[in-house]
């Protein structure tokens, strides 16, 4: 599992910082959070493959977070993509893409699903393809869960910003312990479908006996899943703390330094101090500061220094920074 910062600027791109976008590589698929203008160039530079199954999560409709999505989808069409795509975001996400379909001829021949999060009515509204304005179905939101597989789930929270904005959390399910093939061999279990079951921690029947892979030491004890939370743009609010509780990694916007706390408050953004306090409050293990204002082009380290005083395990996002999550 690898996290890659594709863009770490706020509002205005500068030489070394593109607009917000974060990629998470996980089990042969890519999860993207926000699609700032021209993020596709960083996507390619990071060595990410364009024909992987993808899920995209848009935090809000401010240009710096969404203007890179249509060009990316155009590129995927040119590339003859075949892998499935799902895009989540606030209401009107479908309309935004449908306009590109109608006026610019945006097509998606690959399977694509657009899911609008209707927070007010606690519903997910699903559209299939880009051609029909009629939603395929609506689903009641259960808690704040919006997506789930056998391996992970995605939860969201409405946060405080100048427009409807969501934060997202990637929550991995507990993982099976490490597999020790010699133990299986020693018990005479042939390398077969049974091994797969053992690797998944399942009790199997072999030669009339029940074999528990954990008790037999064939797999180690279950390992807790990893959790990553992405704040989107926001001013400090309780809903983010609740969403991000005990995160291994919190990626938090830090548009301003401490000296501009009033500006941050007015514009419903965060300072480095806000980000550090949020990390501390939610019990996060590590903090990444991102969404850095262009005014800190030459002295962004001040943000890092300020945050570290409160939350020492902090790093400053750089475009193309890669973080391996163990
Ligand atoms: Zn922004
Ligand atoms: Zn914003």
d(CA 304, CA 178): 37
Give the confidence band of 177 by pLDDT, cuts at 50, 70, 90.
confident
Which percentage of the chain shows pLDDT scores above 90? 88
Which percentage of the chain shows pLDDT scores above 70? 100
Helices 93-104 and 69-78, axial angle in degrees (round to 10): 50
Closest CA to 141 of 128, 125, 163: 125
pLDDT of amino acid 89: 98
Is the pTM above the cut of 0.75?
A: yes
Residue 80, sorted as left (phi over 0), alpha (psi -120 to 50) or beta, turns out to be left
Q: How far is the CA of 36 from the centre of ligand 1 (A)?
A: 9
d(CA 66, CA 101): 16
Closest CA to 307 of 238, 284, 9: 284
Task: Please check the confidence at residue 249 and state whether its pLDDT lies above 90.
Answer: yes
Which domains are assigned to the chain?
2-175+224-324 (3.60.15.10)
State pLDDT tens for residues 55-97.
999 999 999 999 999 999 999 998 889 999 999 999 999 999 9
pLDDT of amino acid 196: 87
Q: How far is the CA of 65 from the centre of ligand 2 (A)?
A: 7
Task: Please check the confidence at residue 326 and state whether its pLDDT lies above 90.
Answer: no
45, 193, 198, 283 from 201: Cα distances, Å: 38, 13, 5, 30
Q: How far is the CA of 72 from the centre of ligand 1 (A)?
A: 19
Q: Any idea which ligand is nearest the CA of 62?
A: 2
State pLDDT tens for residues 4-37.
999 999 999 999 999 999 999 999 999 999 999 9
State pLDDT tens for residues 219-236.
988 889 999 999 999 999
Known catalytic residues are: 64
Tokens of 164: 């409807």
pLDDT of amino acid 200: 82
Q: How far is the CA of 7 from the centre of ligand 1 (A)?
A: 11
- With the CA atoms of 19, 295, 318 and 27 taken in that order, what torsion angle do they form, in degrees rounded to the nearest 10? -30
* Cβ within 8 Å of residue 288, ≥6 positions away: 5, 249, 250, 251, 252, 314, 315, 316, 317, 323
35, 60, 166, 228, 242 from 2: Cα distances, Å: 18, 24, 22, 11, 24
Tokens of 123: 């519903």
Q: Where are the beta strands (DSSP E) in the chain?
A: 2-7, 21-26, 29-33, 54-57, 85-90, 112-118, 123-128, 137-140, 145-148, 152-159, 165-172, 204-206, 209-211, 227-230, 249-253, 286-290, 314-316, 322-324
């Amino acid at each position: 599992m690898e996290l890659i910062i594709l863009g770490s600027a706020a509002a205005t791109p500068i030489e070394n910082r593109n607009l917000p976008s974060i990629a998470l590589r996980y089990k042969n698929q890519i999860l993207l959070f926000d699609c700032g203008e021209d993020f596709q160039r960083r996507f390619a530079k990071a060595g990410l493959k364009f024909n992987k199954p993808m899920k995209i999560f848009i935090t809000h409709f401010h240009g710096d977070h969404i203007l890179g999505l249509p060009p990316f989808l155009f590129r995927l069409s040119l590339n003859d993509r075949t892998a499935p795509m799902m895009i989540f975001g606030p209401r009107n996400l479908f309309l935004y893409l449908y306009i590109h379909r109608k006026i610019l001829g945006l097509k998606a021949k690959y399977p694509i699903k657009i899911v609008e999060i209707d927070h007010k009515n606690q519903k997910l509204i699903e559209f299939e393809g880009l051609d029909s304005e009629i939603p395929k179905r609506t689903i009641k939101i259960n808690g704040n869960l919006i997506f789930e597989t056998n391996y992970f789930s995605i939860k969201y929270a409405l946060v405080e910003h100048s427009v409807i904005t969501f934060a997202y959390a990637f929550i991995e399910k507990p993982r099976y312990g490490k597999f020790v093939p010699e133990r299986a061999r020693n018990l005479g279990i042939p390398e077969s479908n049974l091994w797969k079951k053992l690797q998944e921690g399942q009790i199997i029947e072999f030669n009339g006996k029940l074999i528990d892979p954990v008790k037999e030491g064939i797999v180690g004890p279950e390992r807790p899943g990893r959790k990553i939370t992405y704040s989107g743009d926001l001013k400090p609010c309780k809903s983010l703390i609740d969403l991000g509780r005990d995160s291994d990694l919190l990626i938090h916007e830090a548009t301003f330094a401490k000296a501009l706390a009033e500006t941050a408050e007015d514009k419903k953004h965060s300072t480095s101090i806000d980000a550090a306090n949020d990390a501390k409050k939610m019990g996060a293990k590590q903090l990444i500061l991102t969404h850095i204002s262009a005014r800190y082009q030459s002295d962004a380290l001040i943000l890092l220094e300020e945050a570290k005083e409160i939350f020492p395990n902090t790093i400053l996002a750089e475009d193309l920074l890669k973080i391996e999550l163990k």
